[in-house]
Amino acid sequence: MQNEQPDEIARLDRLRQGDESAFRWLVDTYQTRVFRTALAIVPTPEDAEDVAQEVFVDVYKTIGSFRGEASLATWLYRLTTSRALKKERDRKRKKRFAFLTSLFGDEEPERFDPPDFQTPETVLQANERTQLINQAVQKLAESQKVAFTLHYQEELSYQEIADVMQTSVSAVESLLFRARQTLRKRLTPYIVP
């Protein structure tokens, strides 16, 4: 295992054997990072909690297949982004389906007004600038959103992001460059330096 510490390797071995204390360690150690990463992709804290729960259930069920080719953190980020993107696609699909159903059915169309993406800090501070940035990030293409979140929120290096996204460092650089360009265009009218 390339980046694991000896203590973490021992815990992983215990986790593979079904040790509950090792699983509690895993959740305690990574739950905040998993939640924050999911929250950057899905629109609500409730959705992020659902994603986090699904990730840890997946880990519990599939830890035996974890070969350690990447670090445990990289594997968790990969699972989290996959789950969160799937949840977001499913939510959009349901929204479109509800609209189409309302066109052909007698029922009142389902109202869906997704709340603004907000981190806990934004809610506490009621910071309009942060809300504008977060809304703009939500509108980025999926791969740009994931790269942007992992780099600027989770502070992962380009190489770590490349590992999570299973791509090259140059592709990550390109994604981040395009994300910054898009955000600059969208936010310039609203945020004066």
Q: How confident is the model over 149-186, as pLDDT tens digits?
A: 898 888 889 999 999 999 999 999 999 999 999 988 88
Together in a domain, 48 and 123:
no
Q: Does residue 68 share a domain with residue 11? A: yes
What is the pLDDT at residue 34?
95
Confidence bin at 100 (pLDDT 50/70/90): very low
Q: What is the CATH number of the domain that holds 89?
A: 1.10.1740.10
Percentage of the chain modeled with pLDDT above 70: 75
Whether 13 shows a pLDDT value over 70: the answer reads yes
Of 93, 114, 135, which residue sits at a domain end? 114
Same domain, 130 and 84: no
Give which of 75, 87, 86 is closest to 34, Cα–Cα.
75
pLDDT band of residue 97 (cuts 50, 70, 90) is low
For the CA atoms of the chain, what is the radius of gyration?
19
Tell whether 78 and 1 lie within a shared domain: yes
Sequence-separated (6 or more) residues with CB below 8 Å from residue 48: 35, 36, 38, 39, 42, 84
The two tokens of residue 82 are 């996959």
> Which residue segment(s) compose the domain that 139 sits in?
116-193
pTM of the entire structure?
Answer: 0.62
Cβ atoms 86, 130 nearer than 8 A: no
Claim to verify: residue 68 and residue 126 sit in the same structural domain = no
Question: Can you give the pLDDT at residue 178?
Answer: 95
18 and 105 belong to one structural domain: yes
* The last residue of a domain, from among 114, 139, 173: 114
Percent of the chain with pLDDT over 90: 38
Q: Are residues 18 and 47 in the same domain?
A: yes
Please tell me the total number of residues recorded for the chain in this structure: 193
Give per-residue pLDDT as tens, 41-62.
888 899 999 999 999 999 988 8
User: Do 101 and 120 fall within a single domain?
Assistant: no
- Whether the pLDDT of residue 96 is over 60: the answer is no
Short-list 117, 169, 164, CA closest to 139: 117
Dump pLDDT digits (tens) for 73-86: 899 999 999 999 88
Distance of alpha carbon 61 from alpha carbon 114, whole angstroms: 32
How many distinct structural domains can be found in the chain? 2
- Mean pLDDT rounded to a whole number for the chain: 79
Rounded to 5 degrees, what angle do the CA atoms 28, 29, 33 make?
105
Specify whether 110 is located in the same domain as 121: no
123 and 91 inside one domain: no
Domain match, 95 and 120 both: no
* Nearest partner of 154 among 51, 45, 35, judged by Cα: 35
Crossing angle of the two packed helices 169-187 and 128-138, in degrees rounded to 10:
130
Which pLDDT does position 106 carry in this prediction?
A: 44
DSSP assignment of 85-106, as one string? HHHHHHHHHHHHHHHHHHHHSS
Q: Is there a single domain that holds both residue 92 and residue 152?
A: no
Say which CATH number the domain at 189 has: 1.10.10.10
Going from the C-alpha of 128 to that of each of 40, 106, 118, 164, 186, the distances in angstroms are 17, 40, 10, 31, 15
**Of 83, 114, 145, at which residue does a domain stop?**
114
